[in-house]
Amino acid sequence: MLAKMTIKNQITLPKTVVTRFAGVDYFDVTTNGECIVLRPLQESRADEVRQRLAQLGIDEGDSRAAVSWARRRR
């Protein structure tokens, strides 16, 4: 299977892959050597997302600032 990256850094996953993860909207993206690893995040993994944000040093204030910045740019 092949996936092509667009000029906007977007990748469309092959349908055979996507159908295995029905209902998944978000993936945790990491690298493993020269590989890109996508791990599905589901609603039941909210604590995992919070932990990852904490590891990255992202807090609620950062989220608010990002939303404000995004809304200004329109």
Cite the DSSP H helix spans in the chain.
Answer: 15-18, 46-55, 60-72
Q: What is the pLDDT of residue 74?
A: 58
> Residue written as tokens 């092949």?
2
Q: What is the pLDDT of residue 22?
A: 86
Reported as a single tens digit per residue, the pLDDT across 9-64 is 999 989 998 899 888 888 889 998 899 999 988 666 777 888 889 999 999 899 89
Q: pLDDT tier at 73 (50, 70, 90 boundaries)?
A: low
Question: What residue ranges do the domains of the chain occupy?
Answer: 1-41, 43-74
Hey, what are 68's tokens? 């404000």
